[in-house]
Structure 1
Amino acid sequence: MTLTELKYIVAVAREKHFGKAAEACFVSQPTLSLAIKKLEEELEVKLFERSASEVSVTPLGEEIVRQAQSVLEQASEIKEIAKRGKDPLAGTMRLGVIYTIGPYLLPDLVRQIITDMPQMPLMLQENFTVRLLEMLRTGELDCAILAEPFPESGLAVAPLYDETFMAALPLNHPLAQEASITPEQLKNETMLLLGAGHCFRDHVLEVCPEFARYASQTDGIRKTFEGSSLETIKHMVAAGMGVTLVPRLSVPELKPVHKRSGGHHDSPVRYLPIVDPAGGKPPTRRVVLAWRRSYTRYEAIAAVRNAIYACPLPGVTRLS
């Protein structure tokens, strides 16, 4: 029994046709048929029922084909392990990222990795922090980009950058012409929040704790509204439904237009830095890269981190 013979029977089971299976395996049909006949004789079982119109797999053949598929996958994994031994960056990197980071970092990050490390394709997963932590623990992900704080998980963590929050207001809001805004000024506004499960929702409530009581009560909808994504909430802000807080990377690069009209921007939303009148630090979140301590591709982790540092990251503070 050889891996080639196993590959042939898997192809025939998939194609239900000897000729198409031979084409898929880049061999002649007689070569494939002879190899399968040899395997059937060795196993002393019939794997396929042949008729003029189609080929079907016998009940016992189905079990053998499933096992053959498993063996081929394991053999492929052996090759991947050997390849990684020669080049630690070779092989897929399964990267998770939370919803409030993904849209603003991934386009630049994927482009950077394709350019610098084409041998390490990314398999991406956007999700909530809790779900990403679970996927890291079970081995479904290799590493994840998260925002602190998150539950203690025993993971290895490397800081990436600190990112300030900015207030987003409708362009015609009375405070939109200010140079900055304070948490105190936000107290009387209708605050738009992300729904439960988003860690950034908790960050907003830390800056404006008075909205926590509305966020947890049904009648609070008169004071707060919830959205499924930051981009949804930005559109709600643009429509004049309220204000919100957003991370700095989600703020579009605004271009001045028509200087004679007062230097308005090409966005219906005005973004203002948040300042503490007492001189304290502005509200900030720390973004980190997390992975299992048992994960052995250290060079790949370092490469992902370096690729993130090579992204523009406007307005954030990179951490070493």
Structure 2
Amino acid sequence: MTLTELRYIVAVAREKHFGRAAEACFVSQPTLSVAIKKLEEELDVKLFERGGAEVSVTPLGDEIVRQAQQVLEQAQAIKEIAKRGKNPLAGPLRLGIIYTIGPYLLPELVKHAIAQTPQMPLMLQEHFTVKLLEMLRTGELDCAIMAEPFPDTGLAVAPLYDEPFIVAVPATHPLATRETISAEELKRETMLLLGTGHCFRDQVLEVCPEFARFSSQTEGIRKSFEGSSLETIKHMVASGMGITVVPVLSVPKEPSEHVRYIPFTPPAPTRRVVLAWRRSFPRYEAIAALRNAVYACQLNGVTLLS
């Protein structure tokens, strides 16, 4: 049994496909298949069901894959401990970030990370919360910036900042002249939402649960439309299709000709943005350096948390 064979079975379990797993491991598919078959013969168990378009993991195989992941993490930890003895900030940091934070935090964050820790480049991965949690668990990421709440997976979590929400309306909308808007008033409007999978969509629905009912006959809301990104939704607002709710960091620094951004009537709904990492991750100094880079950012409208 070798670490390479363990890496192969973890890749197949993740990709559910031998070809994609081989590509992820930078080997040919026959090489990967032969190695896995050898491991199955050594253990005298069947790890994968190979029928159909997708490969599935057997119940016993699932246990073995989980243990293999732990072994690989521990092997990586040995390397990290050796690096840490020389310089804990040396080498890349694999950072995940959700779609509704990345475009607005990363420009400042990367600038400060380069200035403070140039020897620690950030390898960035943008995705949904559920995918980032999986990538943290499997060791594909070292840490991730996400918004609470998310399922308790035993990760270490440090708060970064609280970010209020703000209402975006077309410049020609009757509400565009208002100083503040209440959540109750939004119930009578056409709402534009992010698509399923975005945690920010769920947070907006918590502010006004009526938006979850996609019926034109539903009292209190005429229609709801979906967009793939906050920037796409802002363009839809500008064109007059409806209104939306956005996090304050996504508000442009320069005034928009076609969209007005109006605060909620206090207390404004907010989201807490946090940094999460595996408790077994040995480079705590790298995590601390990343947090310091976030705190150095000029993040207008948010409340930084130490």
TM-score (norm 2): 0.71
What amino acid sits opposite 1:102 in the alignment? G
- Return the offset for 1:79: 7.7
Of residues 277, 281, 288, the one that matches 2:274 is 288
Partner of 1:242: 242
Alpha-carbon separation, structure 2, partners of 1:201 and 1:148 = 13
Partner of 1:305: 291
Q: Is the 8 A contact 2:191 2:242 kept in 1?
A: yes
**1:267 and 2:253 are equivalent in the alignment:** no
- Return the offset for 1:120: 0.2
Secondary structure, aligned partner of 1:245? strand
Alpha-carbon separation, structure 2, partners of 1:266 and 1:181 = 18
- Return the offset for 1:118: 0.7
Alignment of 1:35-184 (within 5 A): 82-184=82-184
Partner of 1:195: 195
Q: Is the 8 A contact 1:165 1:283 kept in 2?
A: yes
Q: Is the 8 A contact 1:176 1:270 kept in 2?
A: yes
- Return the offset for 1:275: 1.1
- Structure 1 runs, 4 residues or longer, greater than 2 Å off: 76-84, 217-222
Q: Is the 8 A contact 1:84 1:91 kept in 2?
A: no
Root-mean-square deviation (CA, aligned residues, Å) is: 2.4
- Return the offset for 1:146: 0.5
Give per-residue Cα distances to partners, 1:232-274, cap 9 Å, x unaligned. 00000000000000001000113xxxxxxxxxx4431100001
Alpha-carbon separation, structure 1, partners of 2:216 and 2:180 = 32
- Return the offset for 1:81: 5.6
Alpha-carbon separation, structure 1, partners of 2:79 and 2:229 = 41
Partner of 1:23: none
Q: How many residues align?
A: 232
- Return the offset for 1:83: 3.7
Partner of 1:318: 304
Secondary structure, aligned partner of 1:196? coil
Alpha-carbon separation, structure 1, partners of 2:287 and 2:177 = 43
Secondary structure, aligned partner of 2:153? coil
Alpha-carbon separation, structure 2, partners of 1:309 and 1:201 = 26
Q: Is the 8 A contact 1:157 1:288 kept in 2?
A: yes
Give per-residue Cα distances to partners, 1:295-314, cap 9 Å, x unaligned. 11010000000100100011
Q: Is the 8 A contact 2:81 2:282 kept in 1?
A: no
Cα–Cα, structure 1 residues 296 and 208, in superposed 2: closer, same or farther, change >3 Å?
same
Cα–Cα, structure 1 residues 213 and 88, in superposed 2: closer, same or farther, change >3 Å?
same
Secondary structure, aligned partner of 1:267? coil
What amino acid sits opposite 1:317 in the alignment? T
Give per-residue Cα distances to partners, 1:119-178, cap 9 Å, x unaligned. 001100000000000000000000000000011111000000000000000011111011
Q: Is the 8 A contact 2:216 2:222 kept in 1?
A: no
What amino acid sits opposite 1:151 in the alignment? P
- Return the offset for 1:86: 1.3
Alpha-carbon separation, structure 2, partners of 1:184 and 1:88 = 50
Cα–Cα, structure 1 residues 113 and 219, in superposed 2: closer, same or farther, change >3 Å?
farther
**1:253 and 2:253 are equivalent in the alignment:** yes
- Note the residue ranges of structure 2 that are not aligned, 5 or more in a row: 1-30, 35-75
Secondary structure, aligned partner of 1:175? helix
Alpha-carbon separation, structure 1, partners of 2:198 and 2:80 = 36
Q: Is the 8 A contact 2:100 2:230 kept in 1?
A: yes
What amino acid sits opposite 2:103 in the alignment? P
Q: Percentage identity across aligned positions?
A: 72
Q: Is the 8 A contact 1:80 1:91 kept in 2?
A: no
Secondary structure, aligned partner of 1:176? helix
